[in-house]
Structure 1
Amino acid sequence: MTTTDSAEKAQQLAQGAVEARLAACAQISAPVTSVYHWRQAIETAEEWQVLFKTTPACYDALEAYLTAAHDYDTPEIIAMPVVRGNAAYVGWVRAETVAR
Structure 2
Amino acid sequence: MADEHLLGLSTCPDRALAEEIAGELVERGHAACVNIVPGLTSVYRWRGETHRDEEVLLLMKTTRQAWPALQATVLELHSEELPEIIAVPVTGGLSDYLAWVTYQTSPDIASKKED
TM range (shorter): over 0.9
Kindly, what percent of the aligned residue pairs are identical? 37
Q: Using the alignment, how far apart are the partners of 1:91 and 1:68 within structure 2?
A: 28
RMSD: 1.2
Amino acid at match of 2:97: Y
Verify: 1:46 aligned to 2:54, yes or no. Answer: yes
Verify: 1:63 aligned to 2:82, yes or no. Answer: no
- SS state at 1:57 partner: coil
| Bigger fraction of residues in strand | 2
Asked if the contact 1:22–1:62 (Cα under 8 Å) also holds between the matched residues in 2, the reply is yes
Equivalent residue number for residue 83 of structure 1: 91
Aligned with residue 39 of structure 2, among 27, 31, 43: 31
The CA deviation at 1:67 is 0.8
Any gaps of 5 or more consecutive residues in structure 2?
1-8, 109-115
Q: Using the alignment, how far apart are the partners of 1:31 and 1:84 within structure 2?
A: 28
Verify: 1:18 aligned to 2:26, yes or no. Answer: yes
Q: Once superposed, which parts of structure 1, at least 4 consecutive aligned residues long, lie more than 6 Å away?
A: none
Q: Matched residue pairs, number?
A: 100
The CA deviation at 1:39 is 1.3
Q: Using the alignment, how far apart are the partners of 1:12 and 1:70 within structure 2?
A: 9
Q: Using the alignment, how far apart are the partners of 1:83 and 1:23 within structure 2?
A: 18
- SS state at 1:80 partner: strand
